[in-house]
Each structure stands twice: as C-alpha cells, then as structure tokens.
Structure 1
Amino acid sequence: MVPLLTTPLPVPHGFTTRLGGVSQGPFQSLNLSAATGDDPEKVAENQRRALSLFGHPPVAGLKQVHGVEVHLVKGPGVWEGDGLLTKTPGLLLRVGVADCYPLLLYHPEGVVGALHAGWRGVVGGILPRALELLEEMGLDPKQVHLAMGPGIGGQCYQVGEEVAERFAQAGLNTFTPDPKAPGRYLLDLEGALLLQAERAGLLRERIYRVGLCTHCEPTLFSHRRDQGKTGRMWGLIMLPR
C-alpha cells in the first residue's frame, strides 16, 4: 500500500513519500519520475500505484522550469511551468518534488491548484501569482485553503549570498548567516511562503503544514541530501467528481 501524507484540506489530495514502490537503489522505492535515470517500467508501476489512490483519474502535469507560470487547465495534459489551477471535477493535478515545496490550494467556490515552489519560484512569487489568477477569476483569494507539503527545512538549506540578497530584495528576510560557514546563509523557504500567504490575507487556520524536512527525513527523497541521485515525489489534488 502506498502511504499518502494528507492535511485537513477538504478535497481529495496528498503528498507521496518514497515508500510503497518497486524501484531499487537510490530510487527506492516509490520514485515517480522517469527523468531521474530509474528503470521506466518500475517508474510506470510506481505511478500506477500512486494514481490508484485516486481511482486512476485523468491527470494534468507539468514540465517544471523553476519559474512562476501558472496555467488554468480544463483537461489532462502537460504544461511548461510550475503551477496548475482547475475547475474541472475529477481532474487530478500533479507536481513533482524532491526538496522544493509542493503547494496545494483549494477555493470553496470550486477551484483547486498545485504549485511547485523552489527558491526561484518562491522569490519570484509563484504563490502570489496563483492567488492573483484566482482574483482575476472573480474569486476572493482570502478564502483559499493552502496545504504545504514536505520540503527542505531552513536548518538544512544552505545558500550563497546572491540568493539571500534576492530574498532580501523581495522583502523575504527568512534567512540567517550559517554559523558553520562564513559567507553562507540558511534559507527558510517555508517561512517565506508563510509570509507571502499572510501578506495575501490567507487565514492561519486555513494553512496546513505537513512540517517534514526532506533532507532530514529518510522516508522522503531529497535532491540535496542524495547529491542529485534520487527519486521524485508527487503533490496531488483534485475536486471530487
């Protein structure tokens, strides 16, 4: 059985771990990306197992580019960008991660979203962009429920001065000097996302955090911990049929 991390988000959703699949070696066991160098047949079986949790629905996915492009989609397919929104019941939205944060959104007037948020997406404002699109659709973004999946924690995410400066320029001062490495900083991506959510008016009681660090937790894939040789997990959400 494939375990799924869930939150109080009131629609079908979840975040996969690395457990419950058939891949071997550094991809053990539920690697969901064939672009990692894993056996494509094993990846296909892993994907089948993950999708079975939602009844094998049609899927909308992304060719992720660490940007802020968010697409409003009506049916299955693959879009270049890092965010999806849909009003289509039964259409499963999918993002892939292995340190970046998977964000799942639900608006009570019948919209769900899935976002891929690495440091470039966070500092570029992919979450505010998705909320702006909801507003352009005539919906109040302050009603959004937001689920934040596992991602690399601030205590484990070391970055250089240039990245810290980008966050400072964006008004996201969620970084501190790394006491063990002069000239380097520890960056709290989740803290930056929470700050953006609060600035957009989202209510704290509608923000749900899984609260697991991919770098620290061995049951999760981590690109940084595993030096690039690792699998990918999915963040998944859909409106009920």
Structure 2
Amino acid sequence: MVPLLTTPLPVPHGFTTRLGGVSEGPFASLNLSAATGDDPERVAENQRRVLAAFGYPEVAGLKQVHGTEVRLVEGPGVWEGDGLLTRTPGLLLRVGVADCYPLLLYHPEGLVGALHAGWRGVVGGILLEALKRIEALGLDPWEVHLAIGPGIGGACYQVGEEVVERFAEAGLRTFRKDPSAPGKYLLDLEKALLLQAKEAGLREERIYRVGLCTHCAPHLFSHRRDRGRTGRMWGLVMLPLTPVAE
C-alpha cells in the first residue's frame, strides 16, 4: 500500500508523496504523470498502486491550465480546467501537483471537490469560485470542510514584482521582500488561501492543513527545487458509497 498524507477530512482522501512507486532517477519513485518523460509503464503501475488504496474506483481528472474553472461532473473522464466537484458516490477526483497546492473539499450534504491552486489559481480565486458553485447548488458554503495539501512554502517561493502586484491588487499581501535577491519577493500561497477561506466564512475548525513544503521535503516532488525534472503527486478525494456519519 502506498503511503498517503491525510487530514481530518471525514471522507476517503489523501495526498500522495514520492514514496512507494517503481519509477527511477528524477522520477523516483511514485511519479503519477507520464507527461514528465517517465516510462509510461512505470507510471501506469504507480497509478495502479494509488488507485488500489481506494478500491480501484472510477476516476475524474483534469487537463490543468492554471486557471480558475471549476467543473461539476457526474462520472469518470478528463476535463480542461483546474477544479472538479461531484455529488456522485464512489467517483474519485484527482488533481496533479509538484509545488502548487492541492485543495480538497467536502460538504456534509453529499459533495466533494478537488482543486489545483498555483499562484494564478490563488490570486484568481479558484477556491472562491468553487464555493460559489457549491452555493449555486443550494448548499451552504459555510458548511464546507477544506483540506490543504502540501505545496511550496512562503520561505521558498521566490517571485517577481509582476506577481506580487497581482496579489496586492487582490488584497492578498502575503509576500515580503527577499533579503537575498534585490527585486524579488517571497510569496506565501498557503497564507493567501487561508485568508480567502476566512473571508468566505469557512469555519476554522473545518480547515485542515498538511503543513509541508514541497521544496523543503525530500519525500515530495518539487518542480522548482528539481528545476523542472521531477514527478507529479496527486490530491484525491471521494464520496463514500455510504453516507458519512458526523
């Protein structure tokens, strides 16, 4: 069984690491994307191992574009966008990451979601877009549980002035000057996500953090640390076939 990082989110879910797979070299060992240049057969085996942990369910995934589109889906497939919501029990939602933040959502009235949040998704408000979609379904977004997976931390994510200007315009001043690099800044995406969650009215006791930096943790893939030659991890969530008792 592959190791999964989990939180108190009360539905089947998890965040993969780079441990427990069969890939080699820069993709060692649980790379879940064939688009990286890894051996497709090894990637397929890695994916099989992850799906085994959830009982081999049907899967809904994304062709991610670093945007804010959130799609409501009823069955398996691949959609262009950066967020998925479903009310279908037994359908596993997945997002791929290697520094961006995977966000998992659960509403007690029978809905789960998975979001891919890089800096464009965060400043564009993909979390807020997902909560709007949930409200449009007649569900109270105040009831949502949110799990924030591992992503690049604020002490490691160096960006330029054009990026921090976007965050300042959005009222997300979660950055500071990088003392080691004139003209550069250190941007805290997770802090920005937490601010958005608070402003949206999510309850603090229903926000769960893994609290790991992909750039710092050797057991996680990091696109920036590994200069683009690395694997991908998944954030995964599924409504169980039987209702959750809360």
TM-score normalised by the shorter chain: which range applies?
A: over 0.9
Could you say which residue in structure 2 is the equivalent of 1:186?
186
- Show structure 1 runs of 5+ residues with no match: none
Q: TM-score, normalised by structure 1?
A: 1.00
Provide the C-alpha distance between the structure 1 equivalents of 2:186 and 2:63, rounded to a whole number of angstroms.
28
Alignment of 1:211-230 (within 5 A): 211-230=211-230
Task: Name the residue aligned to 2:77.
Answer: 77
Say if 2:205 is the partner of 1:236.
Answer: no
Q: Secondary structure at the match of 1:133?
A: helix
Q: Hey, what's the Cα distance between the residues in 2 that align with 1:19 and 1:44?
A: 15
- Paired letter, 1:229: R
User: How far does residue 96 in structure 1 lie from its aligned partner after superposition?
Assistant: 0.2
Identity value in percent:
83
Equivalence map 1:27-42=2 (5 Å): 27-42=27-42
Please give the residue correspondences for 1:1-241 in structure 2 after superposition, counting only pairs within 5 Å: 1-241=1-241
Task: For residue 47 of structure 2, give the secondary structure of its aligned residue in structure 1.
Answer: helix
1:24-68 deviation digits (Å, cap 9, x = unpaired):
000000000000000000000000000000000000000000000
Instruction: Letter of the 2:169 partner, please give it.
Output: Q
Q: Separation in 2 of the partners of 1:67 and 1:56?
A: 29
SS in 1 for 2:79: strand
Structure 1 runs (4+) greater than 2 angstroms displaced: none
Q: Work out the CA distance in 1 between the residues paired with 2:159 and 2:239.
A: 37
1:141 deviates by 0.4
Q: Which amino acid aligns with 2:230?
A: T
Distance (Å, rounded) in 2 between the aligned partners of 1:138 and 1:195: 24
* Separation in 2, partners of 1:150, 1:157: 13
In the alignment, the residues of structure 2 paired with residue 62 and residue 53 of structure 1 have an alpha-carbon distance, to the nearest angstrom, of 20
Post-superposition CA distance 1:112-163 (Å, at most 9, x none): 0000000000000000000000010011101100000000000000000000
Q: Distance in 2 between matches of 1:25 and 1:76?
A: 32
Per-residue deviation, residues 60-118 of structure 1 (Å, max 9, x unmatched): 00000000000000000000000000000000000000000000000000000000000
Q: CA RMSD in A?
A: 0.3
- 3-state SS, counterpart of residue 96 of structure 1: strand
Alignment-mate amino acid for residue 117 of structure 2: A
In structure 1, how many angstroms separate the alpha carbons of the residues matched to 2:171 and 2:56? 42
State the one-letter code of the partner of 1:128.
L
